[in-house]
A and B are shown apart, each in its own frame.
Chain A
Amino acid sequence: MGALNVIVLVSLVYVAMLFCVAFAADRAAARGRGTWLRSPIVYTLSLSIYCTAWTFYGAVGFAARSGLEYLTIYLGPTLVMVGWWWTLRKMVRVGRSQRITSIADLISSRFGKSNALAVFVTVLAVIASTPYIALQLQSVTISFAAFAAVDPTHTGEISETGVALWVAIGLMVFTILFGTRNLDANERHHGLVMAIALEAVVKLCALLAVGIFVVWGLAGGVEQTLARIDQSAIARWEVPGSRWVGLTLLSAAAFMCLPRMFQVMVVENEEEGHLRTASWAFPTYVMLMSLFVVPIAAVGLDLSPAGANPDLFVLTLPLENGQEGLAVLSFLGGFSSATSMVIVAAIALSTMVSNHVVMPVWLHMTGGSAVVSGDVRAVAIRARRLSIMVILFLGYLYFRVSGGGAALAAIGLISFVGVAQFLPALLGGLFWRGANRRGALAGLAVGFAVWMYSLFLPSFGASAVMPQGVLENGLLGLAWLRPQALFGAAGMDPVVHAFMWSLSLNIVVFVFVSLISFPQPVERLQGAQFVNVFDHSAPSGGWTGGLVQSEDLMIMAQRIMGAQEAQALFGEVAREQGMSGYLPEPTPDFLSRLERSLAGSVGAATAHAMISQIVGGASVSVQDLMAVADETAQIMEYSSQLEMKTEEQARTARQLRQVNEKLTQISVQKDAFLSQISHELRTPMTSIRAFSEILRDGGEMPPEGQRRYASIIHDEAIRLTRLLDDLLDLSVLENAQIVLNLEEGNLGALLDRAETAAGLSDNSMTVGRDAGADQVRLYTDTNRLAQVFINLMSNARKYCDADAPRLDIRVAERDGMLLVDFIDNGSGIPAGQQGTIFEKFSRVSENKAGGAGLGLAICREIMARLGGGVEYLPGQTGGAFRVYLPVAEAGAAEAAQ
């Protein structure tokens, strides 16, 4: 059997094994088992898709041409990984918390979910990656050709395009099978990552094996190898500084920006902690990958015939030295490098193409009527598969068109410069809140244009795409626009030249446009979320199985629903799932049920955000935040209503307390009143009883004595009657049972009447009146009003203690009230008693003869009924009372007439 057949067979067996590994890993992941799938080592190995066939074969070729310069391609990523704390940590955190699916998604999410930006990044990524995919197909093809060349049984040329086609189809099938199995929200592909990790091991082992064979097998030891290097064409350290620094920066930039690197580094990341391991493990991997490159190159240059392709030394050295087994291993290493790169690149690009190009177009065409979720899922998967086919076909097409002639490394670097254009938008978006969409778009457009003009189009060769004249004399004959000597920067390496100009102009335009334009609200919100991601998002949770998540959910639910309710709910679900205890599996049913329960407490959007934070490891999106804000507003409104109600209740309680106090006072007053009244009634009754007993038992008593006693009894009976009359009167007044007899009257006449009735007309007291002011019309119950006047006048007569008693009656009108003041020239009422004189049974002094102390109380009640009042007027010449009643009553009288 010939070597070619062996190689075909081995490839097929190898691919079948990869299928099995991917399938088994997917099954294990689906069953929630296989924590080994989530180990940091697998993550680190998956990062090794950075080392494509270009680095596997091409690095040796690179070293054979330019010595140690090939190291820059590894040193850049090493520095990025070692500096993971600066950038990668943030990228991964943002990617996880925002459910980022690709680098286009990251950039567009950061800049306000702009689809224009996403489409632009997607197109740029496809243009930059297609040659790279073609490169992988080419490397597999030429490695087949290398085997065919030494196969004695094989006659004639093998069809390069045929091999490339079959490889492309095989990769297409594999990618579609394992890359589009599910539309997982987190876009993780366990089986695929596992297969890639396995391929990483194969390519490392292959390169190390070839290196060991070359050093100890061919060269005869370390010292001899070093001697050969010293004697070879690459013995001198002659790397130009610009290329050394420029290519290191370029590879560092590309490492962060390549869509496939973003896919494995951010999207497929299981846990942030893996990055910590990868920070030293990945540099170790690439260091080992590059360890034997210079020895292989030097020995290859020494042993191979002149004109041999140094890109294939890794394969040809074992092959030509009779180590077919090693050659097959080496072939598998290159094959692994090529296939893993193509698969991941195809997945990353197809995700971008379907999410940002196909789906929006489809939704637009169907008028956005896709309300059925299953419908969209099917379309999305079909779009993804279609995109994979298109991308691989494009790669194949590029390979056919370009003819596979160019040196491998050249295309790789051109592609790197293309994707490096994402760097300003990526880092600016992560670290600068002022970066905005217009800036990112403008920067990307300028960088892309410069890359196309100065590197990509000239790379097809003179006159292929770009006319020779433009290449030599610049666009429109302007010398400073020469593609490879922009702005007079002649004599630079084309790649470094293009990298420098495209990235510099990209950054300048990005920053400038960001500074002068104003971002949209969503952009600003997303900007804050991205830049301050460590303030907002929790470090990613364990992802180490269902129970931990359930426990987290339980802790959260207890906090919100209360411990007992939460335990009851969890316990019930656990029993339904046939488990004991309180921690059920976090099935979708259970989660939606829990979400509904929580929504009752905190609102639907908040509940959703909380659960997804624990289960999905994702933070809230803008829409979530807005929904939360709405709910919060509702809750705040509700709580303000509650607050109002509480205030009202407090008010009512205060009022109730006041009423209660009043009632207590009234009860006390009632008791006092009863004791007073019994006292008042008892005094006359006692004397009546005593004197009537004397009369009954008197026997011999002179008639004048009998008359005296009888008159005392009579007086006391009259006093008693008057007291009872007063009490009755007061009771009627207080209970508002009084019927007012409203009639027209004249104040002067009323006062005259009262004066006579009060006994003031006997000149015992001088009465001062202003006859003119008295003439006021009244419309009121004149009899009642006269009663008040009489009471006040007789009080003045009784209590005025002046030598020449005098009563002044003044009438005035103020604020719609008729004021009648009764002012005597006595000593007045002591200040301490002024407040109580209107109360029942209150008397100014006990020694003065008088009534029961009901007079003023009755006055007060009468005046209240008449719509006015009576009050003591302090600060006058003596005792002073003011009676007031509304003038409107008087006016009404006129109207009535």
Chain B
Amino acid sequence: MSPKRGSVFLARRAYFQRRAMDAARLLPVLGAGIFVLPLLWKSGDGARTVMVMFYIFLCWTALIGLGWIVSRRLSGPDADVNRDPAGDANEQVHVSREG
């Protein structure tokens, strides 16, 4: 693999971007869990449409809010840091060699 992957400690900013990526990956899993949860509720006395509706719309809003936070964290010029940087480096070497 690229030797540049070797760096273990990242700058604070890059570190938080990595964690934002982790969050972006986990968010749909969380969402799926939240939306499946009402199936566990007993129908009849326990769960009524109104309750489930409130639950789902609240969770939905929360999910959107989390998504908004994550997407803001992911913004920035180098949001794509998990891209293998060797590709660019190779290309530059290639160009300068021929040029």
Contact = CB atoms under 8 A, between A and B. Distances in A.
A276 B29 CA distance: 18
A287 B27 contact: no
Contact of A226 (B25, B50, B88): B50
Contact of B51 (A237, A245, A538, A602): A237
Interface string A256-285: 000000000000000001001101100110
Contact of B50 (A84, A229, A276): A229
Interface string B77-99: 00110111001100010011011
B47 interface: yes
Contacts of A535: 83-84, 87
A75 B35 contact: yes
A244 B39 contact: yes
Contact of A85 (B25, B38, B43): B25
A873 interface: no
B68 interface: yes
A560 B29 CA distance: 47
B32 A79 contact: yes
Interface in A74-89: 75, 78-86
Contacts of B21: 85
A238 B98 CA distance: 69
B89 to A, nearest CB: 12
A534 B82 contact: yes
B59 to A, nearest CB: 10
B53 A539 contact: no
Nearest to A293: B53
A170 to B, nearest CB: 36
Contacts of A786: none
B24 A84 contact: yes
A236 interface: yes
Interface in B9-68: 21, 24-25, 27-29, 31-32, 35-36, 38-39, 41, 43-44, 47-53, 56-57, 60-61, 63-65, 67-68
B25 A279 contact: no
B31 A78 contact: yes
Nearest to B88: A538
Residue among A82, A238, A536 facing the most chain B CB atoms (10 A cut-off): A82
B24 A536 contact: no
A71 B56 contact: yes
A273 B75 contact: yes
Contact of A283 (B39, B53, B56, B67): B67
Contacts of B31: 78-79, 82-83
Nearest to B42: A237
Interface residues of A, number: 48
B95 A276 contact: no
B57 A280 contact: no
Contacts of B41: 237
A84 to B, nearest CB: 7
Interface in A564-611: 601-602
Given A276-B75, A559-B99, A78 B47 contact: no
Contact of B67 (A82, A229, A237, A291): A82
Given A75-B35, A276-B71, A538-B88, A237 B99 contact: no
Residue among B44, B70, B98 facing the most chain A CB atoms (10 A cut-off): B98
Contact of B99 (A71, A79, A601): A601
A277 to B, nearest CB: 7
Contacts of B63: 78, 82, 283
A536 B61 contact: no
A250 B27 CA distance: 19
Given A68-B52, A236-B48, A601-B98, A83 B64 contact: no
A612 to B, nearest CB: 14
A139 interface: no
Contacts of A81: 67
A535 B90 CA distance: 12
Interface in A276-316: 276-277, 279-280, 283-284, 287, 291, 294
Contacts of B36: 244-245
Contacts of B50: 226, 229-230, 235
Given A82-B63, A241-B39, A280-B64, A536 B99 contact: no
A635 interface: yes
B70 to A, nearest CB: 8
A234 interface: yes
A248 interface: yes
Contacts of B43: 236-238
B39 A83 contact: no
Contact of A229 (B25, B49, B70, B80): B49
A97 to B, nearest CB: 12
B87 to A, nearest CB: 5
A283 B35 contact: no
Contacts of A538: 88
B83 A291 contact: no
A234 B28 CA distance: 28
A58 interface: no
A561 interface: yes
Contact of B49 (A68, A79, A291, A561): A68
Nearest to B46: A237
A67 interface: yes
Contact of A602 (B70, B88, B98): B98
Residue among A283, A560, A562, A601 facing the most chain B CB atoms (10 A cut-off): A283
Contact of A78 (B48, B60, B75, B83): B60
Interface string A769-796: 0000000000000000000000000000
Contacts of B35: 75, 79, 248
Contacts of A279: 67, 70-71
B97 to A, nearest CB: 9
Contacts of A280: 64-65, 67-68, 71
A67 B60 CA distance: 18
Nearest to B44: A236
B67 A236 contact: no
Contact of B60 (A229, A238, A283): A283
Residue among A81, A83, A273, A562 facing the most chain B CB atoms (10 A cut-off): A83
B98 A235 contact: no
Contacts of B28: 79-80, 82-83, 86
Contacts of A75: 35, 56, 60
A521 B63 CA distance: 43
Nearest to B72: A276
A640 to B, nearest CB: 14
Contacts of B24: 83-85
A283 B28 CA distance: 12
Interface string A161-182: 0000000000000000000000
A78 B67 CA distance: 11
A127 to B, nearest CB: 30
Interface in A211-243: 226, 229-230, 234-239, 241
Contacts of A291: 57
A277 B48 contact: no
Contacts of A294: 49, 53
Contacts of A273: 75
Contact of B80 (A239, A284, A534): A534
Contacts of A68: 49, 52-53, 56
27 contacts: A71-B56, A78-B31, A82-B28, A82-B63, A83-B25, A229-B49, A230-B49, A234-B49, A236-B44, A236-B47, A236-B49, A237-B48, A239-B39, A241-B39, A245-B39, A248-B35, A276-B75, A279-B70, A280-B68, A283-B60, A287-B64, A291-B57, A559-B92, A559-B95, A559-B96, A559-B99, A602-B95
Interface of A: 67-68, 71, 75, 78-86, 226, 229-230, 234-239, 241, 244-245, 248, 273, 276-277, 279-280, 283-284, 287, 291, 294, 534-536, 538-539, 559-562, 601-602, 635
Q: Which 5 A-B pairs have the closest CB atoms?
A: A83-B28, A85-B24, A280-B67, A237-B47, A280-B68
Given A229-B49, A237-B49, A560-B99, 4 more contacts: A82-B63, A239-B39, A535-B84, A539-B83
